Copies of this chain bind each other. A is one copy, B any other.
């Protein structure tokens, strides 16, 4: 299925291997203000962007093999007395080559419906220089599968998704389970869709929103194209051999998905919308539409976090709930070509109140993000977690 097909059918489901699937993918245009005003320039820009992402995915194999090959050369150049100490190193690197092939097979299946041409990556990359930063996004996507859809990711999901879900259940504890489908919950920055999916499984009608094509291609594949649990084995940790206690830690596989997506409760809708959060939801039809908004590691992806808070306030119903968990690692702070506003946590809270929210609960939760739990280095985020309710009287101070 091409991007063109995807946009034209707007509310159509992807074809799914799961008969019971009712996961709808909407595409309002990544760069479009809204689907009705989607312009030719936007279409061209979007297709160029998608092609770059697909090229990068296809580039993964060559780039990874080159890097692994370099490790072999470096090892072979060692003095003889060093080489003989670790006779198994080349075996390990050959194993990594095999695992790169397995990861590549998985990636190619994931993107196959979107590659409208011969997927020979050597052809695609003629004249294109290797950029580590781009290939890092493919590696991050593989790690994101570990976080969202593997047994190993349960630690991070328990630390982050569980408190969010418990707060949502608590907030709507007076609504009977069979009526939860009437409550519409939005998950901006949905990534590979696990949090949105878990909320759906509890009976809430849920919409995930995501801007990144890396995540959109991944979430479509995992949500719509699986036929059994643990259908795929991939190797997300083979690209860094630093900070490992054991060689096996570097070679560890994950089996995905840990659960087979599907069996959405009756009267419950689940959809994923592609596009920029502001562009998609600023349309008047979403004004005071949502019964809950859940943001997890999302708010700091804003170029202007105040715009995010303001829009969340506008599209929530009065008395509806906003649950947030995340740090304030502003994604655009160091990018000279993009605007960025960096609030401290205290300023962030001031802004939340000024945009018409009352904070009901607030605490700090320490967690990692897409972390190999066995690594000697962990990035620990001391996240802000809060439950905020939109004031009924529109009493914001703006």
Within the assembled complex, what's the spacing in Å between the Cα atoms of A341 and B74?
Answer: 7
> Shortest distance in angstroms between A135's beta carbon and chain B's nearest beta carbon?
11
The answer on a CB contact under 8 Å between A398 and B246 is: no
Cβ B77 vs Cβ A339 within 8 A: yes
Q: Of residues 320 to 372 in A, which have CB atoms within 8 Å of B's CB atoms?
A: 327-330, 333-334, 336, 339-347, 350-351, 354
Closest CB in chain B relative to A130 CB, distance in Å = 9
Contact (A380, B381) CB under 8 Å given A82-B306, A300-B242: no
A334 to B82, CA, bound (A): 21
Query: A85 within 8 Å of B by Cβ?
Result: yes
Q: Is A37 an interface residue (CB 8 A)?
A: no
Complex CA gap A351/B365 in Å reads 40
Q: Are A377 and B379 in contact (CB under 8 A)?
A: yes
B67, B132, B242: the one contacting A328 at CB < 8 Å is B242
A378 CB within 8 Å of chain B: yes
The answer to whether B242 touches A376, judged by C-beta atoms less than 8 angstroms apart, is no
Q: Is A285 part of the binding interface, using a Cβ–Cβ cutoff of 8 Å?
A: no
Q: How far is the CA of A359 from the CA of B81 in the complex (A)?
A: 22
| A109 cross-chain contacts in B, Cβ below 8 A | none
Interchain CB contact under 8 A, A304 and B82: yes
Does A65 sit within 8 A of B, measured CB to CB?
no
Chain B residues closer than 8 Å to A351, beta-carbon distance: 85-86
**How distant is the Cα of A241 from the Cα of B243 in the complex, in angstroms?**
28
Write out the residue numbers on chain B whose beta carbons fall within 8 Å of the beta carbon of A247.
344, 346-347
Given contacts A376-B328, A380-B378, A398-B81, contact A242 B345 (CB under 8 A): no
Q: How far is the CA of A75 from the CA of B340 in the complex (A)?
A: 8
Minimum-distance CB pairs A-B, first 7: A241-B342, A74-B339, A244-B344, A82-B306, A245-B345, A376-B382, A242-B330
12 further contact pairs, Cβ within 8 A, besides A85-B350, A86-B343: A71-B342, A78-B341, A85-B306, A132-B334, A241-B342, A242-B342, A244-B342, A250-B344, A327-B377, A376-B384, A377-B381, A378-B379
23 A-B pairs with C-beta separation under 8 A: A74-B339, A78-B304, A78-B306, A78-B341, A82-B310, A85-B306, A86-B350, A241-B330, A241-B333, A242-B300, A242-B328, A242-B329, A242-B333, A244-B328, A244-B344, A245-B346, A246-B345, A246-B346, A247-B344, A327-B377, A329-B377, A376-B382, A379-B379
